């Protein structure tokens, strides 16, 4: 049973490093803890209409925080770094009978909704 894309992608992570990487097609998101790489790939492709090349995930452990005498931890979360295809060129290949067939790529090469002006 798959979840809706809005349930998988929680929010973008906007830091100096993620802003720099966005120019190279790498976008960072906070995702649901139970999401797999395939779920994340499908959610990003549906939400932003881009072609995903690769997905790297990691778990971020919560930090120990103190308020006066009481210790606690911030919540743990899962981060995904998604690399999208930046080449919007037409591709051509040989089909049956030796015909040269061209396909146009119908997806975007950047995620404008990410909040970073490029």
Tokens of 37: 């790489």
N residues, the chain: 118
For residue 115, what pLDDT is reported?
62
Helices (H), 23-99: 37-48
Report the sign of the C-alpha dihedral through residues 15, 58, 25, 32, in that order. Answer: negative
Residue 86 CB-half CA count within 13 A: 9
Q: Residue 108: its pLDDT value, please?
A: 78
Q: How far apart are CA 55 and CA 28, in angstroms?
A: 10
Q: Map out the domains of the chain with their CATH numbers.
A: 5-105 (3.30.70.330)
118 residues of the chain, pLDDT tens digit each: 468 999 999 999 999 999 999 989 999 999 999 999 999 999 999 999 899 999 999 999 999 999 999 999 999 999 999 999 888 666 677 777 777 877 776 777 788 776 654 4
Q: Is the pTM of this model over 0.95?
A: no
d(CA 6, CA 16): 25
């Amino acid at each position: 049973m798959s979840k809706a894309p809005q349930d998988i992608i929680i929010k973008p992570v906007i830091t100096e490093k993620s802003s720099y990487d966005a120019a190279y097609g790498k976008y960072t998101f906070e995702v649901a803890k139970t999401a797999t790489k395939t779920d994340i790939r499908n959610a990003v492709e549906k939400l932003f209409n881009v072609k995903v090349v690769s997905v790297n995930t990691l778990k971020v452990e919560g930090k120990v925080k103190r308020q006066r005498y009481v210790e606690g931890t911030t919540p743990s979360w899962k981060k995904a770094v998604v690399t999208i295809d930046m080449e919007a060129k037409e591709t051509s290949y040989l089909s049956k009978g030796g015909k040269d067939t061209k396909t146009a790529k119908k997806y975007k090469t950047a995620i404008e909704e990410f909040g970073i002006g490029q």
